[in-house]
Amino acid sequence: MKSESKKSAAGKIASFAIVALVLVGAVAIMGVSEVSGKSMMSKAFVFFVSAVIVLQVVPGIMLLGAMLKAVCSMAGKKVAVPVVALQK
């Protein structure tokens, strides 16, 4: 198991970006929805539900990016086909 000091800079940046995306998305969804009650519990519940929605979107976007990367890399590859001389 890696210690905290052994993590790469790219891993730290990716982790920070995912956390920031979840927080910003949760606040954005919470801002769009109108909470009928003004109590703290109703606001916390809406924030929790919006955080769950965003947490489901993040892996979906990552999967979509990986699929598009794979499709684009397959289109760029050229397969060498052996040429067999036809002799009769």
How do residues 25-38 score in pLDDT, each as one tens digit?
A: 878 777 776 666 66
In a domain? residue 83: no
The predicted model gives 48-76 an average pLDDT of 84
Question: Which tens digit of pLDDT belongs to each residue from 4-57?
Answer: 556 788 778 878 888 888 888 878 777 776 666 668 887 788 788 888 888 888
Q: How many CA atoms lie within 13 A of 19 on its CB side?
A: 6
Task: Assess if residue 86 is contained within a domain.
Answer: no
Tell me the residue range of the domain where 28 lies: 9-76
The pLDDT of residue 56 is 86
Distance separating alpha carbons of residues 21 and 65, to the nearest angstrom: 16
First to last CA, the chain: 64
Residue 23: inside a domain = yes
In a domain, 29, yes or no: yes
Please report whether residue 32 resides in a domain.
yes
Is it the case that residue 76 has pLDDT exceeding 80?
Answer: no
Query: CA dihedral in degrees (39, 45, 51, 56; nearest 10)?
Result: -160
Structure tokens at 73: 């890399």
In-domain check, residue 24:
yes
- The pLDDT of residue 2: 53
